[in-house]
Structure 1
Amino acid sequence: MMEVKEELVEKPECEESVEECYENGDSGGDDFENELDIPHIPVITFPGRVKKFKCLECDRPFAEKSHLAKHIVIHTGEKNFKCNECGRTFARKGDVVQHSKIVHSGVKRFKCDDCGKNFTLKRHLTQHLILHSGVKQYSCDQCGKLFADKSNLTRHLNAHLGVKKFKCDECGKQFTTRKDIIRHFVVHTGIKDHKCVECGKLFAHKGQLTQHMVVHTGVKNFKCEECGTFFARKGDLTRHLPFHSNVKNFKCEDCGKLFVQKAYLAKHSRIHTKVKKYKCNECDRLFAKEDHLTKHSLYHSGAKKFMCEECGKVYSQKSHLTQHLRIHSGLKFQCPVCGKLFVRNNHMARHIETRHPVPVPCDNDI
């Protein structure tokens, strides 16, 4: 006769907590029950059934030898089962299945009563509640910044130390946290679901769109102490500062042109590779740079929101208005050969090319 009784199975005496084991990908089946906050379930046992198979690593007993064999895999350190969603690896196939159900199902059962935010895991809610308490007891010994959660401090310290243990298999770029590399991986999928309602620019992440929207508010709180220019975002100011030092450490291997920032060199390099992956949906024209496509798209929209305050003429692009304003300001570009003045730099360049071409030396002149 089979009977049901309450049996509390002893957990392995590991140095890490259940939450830490799960975070490191070492979790077993019982750990997932803790993640889901499942109440204790009665264990079905048979009279006289003895758990005679004992794990030599953690002393946990098992009734079946096959159960012990599955359990031992956790202690070997081998993680041969990979999650197709996030790339995280696990010791057992069952762990991957449980992980997918918990993390990637999209179900968020744990709700914060203070702000209404929902979480997939109970421990994430617990960590989040610390933010509402306002208590920040973990301090960075490098810069003094305070954190409410110890794990956030650990990730912050890795940034100081330059520790980047998460590497992207697609491009080789390295990241400090698993969260950062997961966010980065979306870039390689080409999916950009977040669109700016103001200019139509697309973004892979909602956070990128949120940061971008600040540009359209017109608010500029970040000031450059060198030239007095204001910026909408701190990152824009940071990228602007190297221009004052005039240090150009990034060199194009194809033409030797130097750049202040690595990002500018990367954009420039597409000119040499002839790769034009940005396509206009209206006319199928291809562009090497995304910002070139964005500017081009304004022609199709017919929108001309840049108006000259002097004569009322409107333009679809700010750069065109800037060029036009030189007519009113009296700024001139002078030809270094004959001294002729031009309103626009490209007009002067065209003049030099046609009127003062550089003579090609003959073989006898060499």
Structure 2
Amino acid sequence: MTFSSSHDFTLRTHREKKVERTEHTPTMTTFEVHERIHTGEKPFSCSDCGKRFTEKAKMKIHKRIHTGEKPYSCSDCGKSFTQNSSLQIHKKRHTGDKLFNCPVCGKMFTVKGKLKIHMRIHTGDKPFSCLECGKSFAENAKLKLHRRTHTGEKPYGCSECNKRFNQKGDLRKHLQIHTGEKPISCSVCGKGFIKHGDLRKHERIHTGEKPFSCSECGKRLSQKSSLKIHQRRHTGEKPYSCSECGKAFIVKSKLKEHERIHTGEKPFSCSECGKWFRRKDEMLIHLRTHTGEKPFSCSVCGICFAEKSGLKVHEMNHRGEKPFSCSQCGKGFTLKSSLRRHEKIHSGEKDLSLTAVHFNQCIHSSLRQLNKKEIICLYN
């Protein structure tokens, strides 16, 4: 017997046993509702998202997702639920009833179905497959969520900005952007976060943990996304390119900064003098000229700098490090710009800006005429 003939036989058998409706049975029987499993009939649809159901009662329960109605409340903790069955399962947490335990790891469950799903972690069983792409899942609920990536269904909408989500949990997290709520805080510095994942990433600042290492150079990083960006330095990949000039960048943020050169946009302004900047870090460095703040100090001599780059160059002087050398005479320099200026001596090229810079960096001692001392020149 083929599947089709077997299916027809099943329906025929059901229909033979079908209860004849009389004036005493005006509503649908349980059997008639059950029959829709075989026919695929779903006559009740949600007016909010269009999802269809075999029973009106199930459609009403589903509607609570959109309305937020939770009529079943726990008498112990006050937590509310859309279905009574969910409340009954929840109550077992208070009573401590955990009747089903995993024979592999011993984990306890209040619902047998949860144990069955859990067991698939140990067996590797993934019985629910996507008809679109073939991806398999251990839970039917996970498959349903996955299907939304193909259908584009997003049943959960934000009442503030109308942005829609395919998972209720994603909507809850999004709503915290509008409320400003950050319920998860760092135990070390108190900084608040919306997501547990963001907190875990932040905590690595305090612990110094860097679990992600580069396979090329061994450098360790605290975040997987940082590793991905770092690896582009080895591969040479620059996926973000400027539509105006074609210049490519490793990260999208650098492309956005670059595009402001073409647009002339300067979105960051100094609160003290009103000067505008293309980049926020440039504005913050400039602001230090007003505040006098110099947060970067030398560990050798204690001298402070407004910029980290200034400290870096200064520390090179302590170490005697001069990474840029002239190919003509071998003279070394701490800055690449200093090397470029020096190279013009060999080429014979005259640079008026060089003359001006050189002059401004020279301090003429007032004792020159009196003591015949040489000019003190800071330019090297």
TM-score range, shorter chain: 0.3 to 0.5
Tell which structure's C-alpha radius of gyration is larger: 2
TM value normalised by structure 2: 0.46
Determine which structure has greater relative contact order: mean sequence separation of CA pairs < 8 Å that are 6+ residues apart, divided by chain length: 1
Query: TM-score under structure 1 normalisation?
Result: 0.47
